[in-house]
């Protein structure tokens, strides 16, 4: 074969190869678009049949549905753990509130007992005076020795003087008896108050103990479910990864990514315009507040970043030991951190999150400022279900003590379950 013939054959061969590659590539592209596997595309360099297209689509849809179901299982498991944790936080809040009421009742009871003891002592003193008066009367030989004094007067002038003195003495005797009567009534009333306040304190102590038991059981259950979730998620995630790889094999990486994007649930975006705070307690709208105090509170909380979360731990004095099952952990829970932060700013706020929300003036979501306290609830319209509080930092970030196993940290603001905000003003 001469050189010219060889060149023509070579060019023809190259065109044939390019044509074959182009056809195969087109077939694979079509197969990816309709859901055929690359293997089917290689075997069919022509347009796939309707049955092949339908079969490929059905396979891809089945895998996509399996991916969605697996993701739903993971989301449901995470949601169940979050609900358990919220229930435990609400129960802890109930305990803290009841315990705080018990402490106040105990102080009142102690004060009432002291008042009762003093009133009883005063009655004893007054009775001693009555006894002394009776003793003097007996020694004088009469309960009314004044008669002899009048009879033995030397003259009318002395008689008048002695009569005046005796009248004063009689008035004093009457006053002593009246005082005893008054003090006896006062002592009885004080004893009644002491008994009632002690009973109230005892009842609150019993309620607090019951609330603690409930809270501990809820927290223990939540932690057990969270631990189980780790294993469950590992298994589900493995299945999810395999299903995604299968989808890529069926329809290609780009088409699989598009499918995955369609299945992703939208993340919580910015808050709706002007979310009003749920009604509770103090309905006053917060004023401008004290920016300097707010910054002191923020700095105080931020200084403890990295400090362990301690269930029931911390308060106005700083980090403290957690309650069982966090015994031995020194740190803060969510409301312990916020109370401490504002104590550093010279502003007292209650110890638990529901009371913090109820006691302080409210802020709309479109008026949030650094230092405001933001709250989340299982039912955002019901403040009784508030279970978490954090300090707003601005720029859609908060500083918080999140949950057991975590630490104090600054985090992105989230709006799912958002119940409202308050502004501590002192």
Q: Which CATH number goes with the domain that contains 356?
A: 3.90.1720.10
Which of 162-171, 210-219, 410-419 is predicted least confidently?
162-171
Residue whose C-alpha is closest to residue 95's, from 351, 375, 358:
351
Q: Which tens digit of pLDDT belongs to each residue from 302-347?
A: 999 999 999 999 999 999 999 999 999 999 999 999 999 999 999 9
- Residue 185 belongs to what H/E stretch? helix 156-251
Looking at the structure of the chain, the number of domains it has is 2
pLDDT at 322 (0 to 100):
94
Segment 114-135 shows an average pLDDT of 70
Same domain, 87 and 191: yes
pLDDT at 160 (0 to 100):
53
Quick check: is 280 in a domain? no
pLDDT at 132 (0 to 100):
67
Single residue among 266, 301, 328 that ends a domain in this structure:
266
Q: Which residue has the higher pLDDT, 166 or 202?
A: 202
Quick check: is 322 in a domain? yes
Quick check: is 356 in a domain? yes
Cα 426 to Cα 218, 363, 375, 388: the distances in Å are: 34, 15, 19, 22
Banded model confidence at residue 14, pLDDT cuts 50, 70, 90: very low
Q: What is the percent of the chain where pLDDT is above 90? A: 30
Same domain, 306 and 405: yes
Q: Which residue has the higher pLDDT, 239 or 397?
A: 397
| DSSP state string for 26-43 | HHHHHHHHHT--HHHHHH
- pTM of the predicted protein model: 0.65
Same domain, 209 and 353: no
Cα 242 to Cα 39, 66, 77, 248: the distances in Å are: 19, 11, 20, 10
- Average pLDDT, whole number, for the chain? 78
Quick check: is 26 in a domain? no
Same domain, 94 and 218: yes
The residue segments making up the domain with residue 406 are: 291-422
Same domain, 346 and 402: yes
Banded model confidence at residue 46, pLDDT cuts 50, 70, 90: low
Same domain, 354 and 229: no
Same domain, 255 and 305: no
> For residue 363, is pLDDT > 80?
yes
Same domain, 117 and 244: yes
Segment 18-25 shows an average pLDDT of 35
pLDDT at 22 (0 to 100):
35
Phi, psi for 422 (deg, rounded to 5) = -135, 165
Q: What is the percent of the chain where pLDDT is above 70? A: 72
Same domain, 178 and 234: yes
Q: Which residue has the higher pLDDT, 59 or 21?
A: 59
Single residue among 266, 282, 299 that ends a domain in this structure:
266
pLDDT at 170 (0 to 100):
53
User: Residue 380: helix, strand or coil by DSSP?
Assistant: coil
Quick check: is 344 in a domain? yes
> For residue 281, is pLDDT > 70?
yes
Q: Which tens digit of pLDDT belongs to each residue from 226-261?
A: 888 888 878 888 887 888 888 788 777 887 777 777
pLDDT at 124 (0 to 100):
73
Quick check: is 177 in a domain? yes
pLDDT at 275 (0 to 100):
76
Segment 51-58 shows an average pLDDT of 75
Q: Which residues pair with 285 in a beta bridge?
A: 362
Quick check: is 20 in a domain? no
Quick check: is 73 in a domain? yes
pLDDT at 419 (0 to 100):
94
């Amino acid at each position: 074969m001469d050189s010219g013939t060889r060149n023509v054959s070579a060019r023809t061969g190259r065109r044939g190869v390019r044509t074959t590659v182009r056809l195969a590539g087109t077939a694979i592209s079509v197969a990816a678009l309709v859901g055929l596997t690359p293997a089917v595309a290689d075997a069919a360099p022509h347009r796939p049949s309707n049955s092949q297209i339908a079969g490929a689509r059905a396979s891809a849809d089945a895998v996509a549905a399996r991916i969605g179901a697996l993701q739903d299982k993971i989301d449901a498991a995470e949601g169940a753990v979050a609900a358990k944790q919220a229930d435990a936080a609400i129960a802890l809040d109930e305990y803290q509130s009841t315990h705080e009421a018990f402490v106040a009742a105990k102080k009142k009871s102690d004060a009432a007992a002291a008042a009762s003891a003093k009133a009883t002592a005063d009655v004893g003193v007054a009775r001693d005076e009555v006894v002394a008066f009776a003793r003097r009367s007996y020694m004088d030989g009469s309960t009314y020795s004044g008669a002899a004094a009048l009879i033995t007067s030397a003259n009318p002038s002395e008689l008048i003087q002695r009569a005046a003195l005796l009248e004063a003495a009689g008035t004093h005797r009457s006053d002593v008896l009246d005082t005893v009567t008054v003090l006896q009534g006062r002592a009885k009333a004080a004893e009644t108050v002491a008994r009632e306040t002690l009973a109230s304190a005892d009842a609150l102590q019993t309620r607090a103990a019951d609330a603690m038991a409930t809270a501990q059981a809820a927290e223990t259950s939540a932690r057990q479910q969270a631990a189980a979730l780790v294993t469950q998620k590992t298994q589900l995630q493995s299945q999810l990864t395999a299903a995604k790889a299968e989808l890529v094999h069926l329809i290609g990486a780009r088409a699989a990514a598009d499918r995955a994007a369609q299945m992703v649930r939208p993340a919580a975006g910015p808050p709706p315009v002007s979310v009003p705070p749920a009604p509770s307690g103090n309905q006053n709208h917060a004023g401008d507040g004290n920016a300097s105090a707010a910054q002191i509170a923020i700095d105080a909380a931020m200084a403890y970043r990295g400090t362990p979360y301690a269930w029931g731990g911390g308060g106005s004095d700083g980090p403290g030991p957690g309650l069982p099952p966090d015994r031995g952990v020194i740190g803060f829970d969510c409301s312990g951190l916020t109370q401490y932060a504002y104590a550093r700013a010279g502003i007292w706020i209650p110890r638990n999150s529901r009371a913090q929300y109820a006691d302080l003036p409210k802020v709309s979501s479109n008026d949030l400022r650094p230092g405001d306290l933001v709250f989340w609830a299982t039912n955002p319209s019901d403040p009784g279900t508030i279970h978490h509080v954090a300090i707003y930092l601005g720029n859609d970030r908060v500083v918080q003590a999140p949950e057991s196993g975590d630490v104090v940290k600054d985090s992105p603001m989230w709006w799912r379950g958002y119940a409202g905000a308050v502004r501590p003003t002192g």
